[in-house]
Amino acid sequence: MENGVAKPVIVAIDGPSGTGKSSTSKAVAAQLGLSYLDTGAQYRAITWWMVTNGIDTADPSAIAAAAAKPDILSGTEPTAPTITVDGVDVSGPIREQDVTSKVSAVSAVPEVRARITDLQRAIAASAVTGIVVEGRDIGTTVLPDADLKIFLTASPEARAARRSGELKGADLHTTREALIKRDAADSSRKTSPLAKADDAVEVDTTDLTLQQVIECVVTLVEEKRAGK
Ligand SMILES: Nc1ncnc2c1ncn2[C@@H]1O[C@H](COP(=O)(O)OP(=O)(O)OP(=O)(O)O)[C@@H](O)[C@H]1O
Ligand SMILES: Nc1ccn([C@H]2C[C@H](O)[C@@H](COP(=O)(O)O)O2)c(=O)n1
């Protein structure tokens, strides 16, 4: 607190796919009056642009050469987050299978990461009350000085069941294999891989309801704010 004004609180939430990062981050931000940033949506948006503009996503040098071209804008209101590329709403297309299958390759390119990381830091710096930022490398690379770092985990079976539910009963085995493959690619890339920061609090969500995870994270933020 400085001159009666609370310092913005920065919360980093990382973890593999389907551990509940987006659902938890949105709810925590809404409950605490903070902004919310889905960094996966930004990597999906730049991947969508590459695909739409005929860039070969298997060619890192072609991706690197185009990385500065798209204008990516994220709306950070937690109850209605938005994402546009060159003014086009891409919130639907970025969730399609074609983008999902190519996003790990595109997001592994250092020029892409540098561009998106700059955007993320600028958004976090301009959040008046604070922000919950979710992704894979937020606590380790993007915001290493975050006030609170959370690393969510869950068994592959629980994550696949959650995703299959979302995809209207998609085959559990295929969903599980796809999750594991994407996590392996995201964890093994050279530049800022998916990783738990040394000072992150790990929360295993396998046997927790979404509401329990939200309550746990809200409590951790409130404790941080109270200086505990
Ligand atoms: N603790 C939980 N128990 C049951 N279902 C959950 C839990 N947490 C999240 N879910 C559900 O699992 C699905 C995936 O959650 P969410 O999109 O928040 O995960 P994520 O970590 O952001 O995934 P990704 O990184 O792939 O975007 C959603 O349908 C969500 O409602
Ligand atoms: N900080 C981040 C966030 C996301 N990515 C990449 C890796 C993911 O597979 C992909 C999509 O993320 P999702 O929408 O599933 O959360 O984006 C990353 O490299 N770094």
Q: Tens of pLDDT along 86-123?
A: 999 999 999 999 999 999 999 999 999 999 999 999 99
User: Does some domain include residue 3?
Assistant: no
Does the annotation list 17 as a binding residue? yes
pLDDT at 207: 97
Which atom of ligand 2 is least distant from the CA of 43? 17
Which atom of ligand 2 is least distant from the CA of 100? 11
User: Does some domain include residue 76?
Assistant: yes
Ligand 1 centroid, distance to 167 Cα (angstroms): 12
Distance, in Å, from the CA atom of 43 to the CA atom of 106, rounded to the nearest integer, reads: 8
**What is the CATH number for 149?**
3.40.50.300
Q: What's the mean pLDDT when you consider all of the chain?
A: 95
Q: Within 10 A of 145 (CB to CB), how many other CB atoms are there?
A: 8
Ligand 1 centroid, distance to 187 Cα (angstroms): 19
ipTM, two decimals: 0.98
For 151-186, what is each residue's pLDDT tens digit? 999 999 999 999 877 766 568 889 899 999 999 999
- Residue 107 CB less than 6 A away from ligand 2: yes
Ligand 1 centroid, distance to 223 Cα (angstroms): 24
29-32 contacts at long range (C-beta below 8 A, 24 or more positions apart): 29/78, 29/131, 29/132, 30/78, 30/79, 31/214, 31/218, 32/130, 32/218, 32/221
pLDDT at 169: 57
Distance, in Å, from the CA atom of 28 to the CA atom of 90, rounded to the nearest integer, reads: 24
User: Does some domain include residue 228?
Assistant: no
Ligand 1 centroid, distance to 32 Cα (angstroms): 20
Does the annotation list 22 as a binding residue? yes
User: Does some domain include residue 215?
Assistant: yes
**Site to substitute for ligand 2 among 107, 131, 181, 191, most atoms within 8 A of C-beta:** 107
**% of residues, the chain, pLDDT over 70:** 96
Q: Within 10 A of 7 (CB to CB), how many other CB atoms are there?
A: 11
Q: Which residues share a beta bridge with 135? A: 14
Does the annotation list 16 as a binding residue? yes
Distance, in Å, from the CA atom of 29 to the CA atom of 157, rounded to the nearest integer, reads: 28
Total residue count of the chain as it appears in this document: 228
Mean pLDDT computed over 198-224 = 97
User: Does some domain include residue 2?
Assistant: no
User: Does some domain include residue 33?
Assistant: yes
Mean pLDDT computed over 56-84 = 98
Host domain of residue 55: 9-221
For 10-47, what is each residue's pLDDT tens digit? 999 999 999 999 999 999 999 999 999 999 999 999 99
Distance, in Å, from the CA atom of 217 to the CA atom of 131, rounded to the nearest integer, reads: 13
User: Does some domain include residue 226?
Assistant: no
Count of structural domains within the chain: 1
User: Does some domain include residue 180?
Assistant: yes
